[in-house]
Amino acid sequence: MDMATRLTAMEYGGITPIGLPADWPILVDSAVVKADKLIIGSGLRDSKLLISGRLLTRLPKVTVMDLIKSQSPL
């Protein structure tokens, strides 16, 4: 936690992919990219940002992948 807050200059609990160091990789699930509205951290613990999933694909070092396995029905 201390390292993440020091390296990002963001508060723990509010760390956001927007504004991360440019050399940090960001993995985004393909389902997230399809979302019209996402609530993510803003860098401050007591505020958040409302963005679209497509906006995340514009960040540096973003890789979109199928990260979450769908669960089969029982």
pLDDT digits (tens, 9 = 90+) for 9-63: 999 989 999 999 989 999 999 999 999 999 999 999 999 999 999 999 999 999 9
Residue spans of the domains in the chain: they are: 2-65
For 13: left if phi > 0, alpha if psi spans -120 to 50, otherwise beta; the answer is left
pTM here?
0.77
CATH of domain 2-65: 3.90.960.10
Q: Interior CA angle at 6 toward 45 and 32, to 5°?
A: 55
